[in-house]
Amino acid sequence: MRETGAERAGVRPSGEERALLRFLLFIGSGLTAAGEAVNEVQDHLLEVAAAYGAPHARVAVLPTYVEISLEPGRAATLEPTRTLRGVLRLDQTAELFQLLREAKRGELPPEDGSRRVLEIIEMRPRFGRLLTIFGHSVLTVGICLVLQPTWGDLVLAGLFGLLVGALKLIGGRWPSLQLIMPVAVSFIVASTTFLLAAPGWADADLRAMIAPLVTFLPGAALTMSVVELSAGEMITGASRLVSGTLQLLLLAFGITAALQVVKLPAADVLIDSPQNLIGWWAPWLGVLVVGVGTYLYHSAPHSSLPWLLVVLAAAWIGQFIGSQWFGGYLSGFFGALAMTPVAYFVERRPSGPPALVSFLPAFWLLVPGALGLIGVTEYLDQDSISASRDLFGTVWSMIAIALGVLCGYPLYRSLARSLGWIRLPLFRSPT
């Protein structure tokens, strides 16, 4: 670790303190990579510090660095989190939370804890490359089913899912390609769709294009940014909001660039009203297929598939009921309100994954990014009226989902207390 100002002045922490600081840094970096809200990361680190004899520690977590002081008035150690940059798979997230539970009980030396965090970061996926690519295709088909497709949409989405899964696997080897990957992939998918549509070989439907791009959509990032802003984390919340919006714009730019190259009609020709020609059961089957695809593509923990399906079903049922009773804008709120306590109840089961593991797949069912992607595409094609309507719909959906999460956690705590499961809060609310 780099020297702090206090160390250069001759006030150096002991070896044990340096080991604890390193351990806290690595756990904080790992939790940030897993997608945890920074206010939750700070609470976790404070509990770990207290378990290792530093109950008055001070922690500040930002998108690119962690700042830690073991006691008030002492110089803080500030370290960048580039060492553990990236996004964790679901199996890595589960292992990290298992380590976090042990750390909160002070059960392992800090040196061993730091080593285990690095081992988790270097874990190989549970499934091989071919099965991972196939999982992306399954996930794509599931999302397409939820979007109320035609049979042609499903076939095209499945093929695109294989293509995008392979491209993401190849591009993952070079971090420098991550910024342009959304543009390149969306351009390839959109261009292929338009070229097939020109002679009438396939329907030019945005559902078939959006479904394979779902793993690029920043629905969870946009929603978590609202959660963090609600918790007063202005810097991180705003940064995550800007990053998610940029991701959305890059995807839309790729589609619009393909539209200009292929010279098809305006975007409003490609966007029609939902018409489910498969059957009423298609979205419900899509929930199951999304769960299986997520399990394979994101290497979900062993025995976690049934629990993932439970949380996905809760999110979908809540969204369906909210849509029937209160309309589309509030459906995300009720979906998030239903899935949040279920995810925390699942976490308490012996074989249940951490709540964050089951949260992320459920966000894709409630994702506001799909609607926003259509809106941005319309805007770039100068259909400003439709774009404004869809973009405002994205904002309302994002806020509704975040409020559902914020309200769902107190609901979980109230139910758990009434059942006698907890006497003190096991988790801290995002608020």
Per-residue pLDDT of 94-120, as tens digits, reads 999 999 999 998 888 889 988 999 899
What is the separation of C-alpha 166 from the centre of its chain, rounded to a whole number of angstroms? 20
* DSSP one-letter string for 227-289: HHHHTT-HHHHHHHHHHHHHHHHHHHHHHHHHHHHHT---GGGT-------S-TTHHHHHHHH
Give the integer Cα–Cα distance in Å for 110 and 94.
19
The number of beta carbons lying within 10 Å of the beta carbon of residue 330 is 18
Q: What would the two tokens of residue 178 be? A: 């991550």
Dihedral angle of Cα 263, 265, 266, 267, to the nearest 10 degrees:
-90
Residue pair 240/228 in contact by the 8 Å Cβ criterion: yes
Give φ, ψ of 79 to 5 degrees.
-135, 140
Task: Write down the domain spans for the chain.
Answer: 5-121, 129-418
Q: What would the two tokens of residue 169 be? A: 């696997």
Q: With a cut of 50, list the residues of the chain below it in pLDDT.
A: 1-12, 266-269, 271-273, 368-370, 372, 379-380, 423-431
Which residues 6+ apart lie within 8 Å of 102 measured at CB? 108, 113
Per-residue pLDDT of 258-290, as tens digits, reads 877 876 654 444 544 455 567 778 888 888 999
Q: Nearest Cα to 344, choosing from 102, 40, 33? A: 40
66 in helix, strand or coil?
A: strand
Per-residue pLDDT of 15-55, as tens digits, reads 778 888 889 888 888 888 887 888 888 889 999 998 888 88
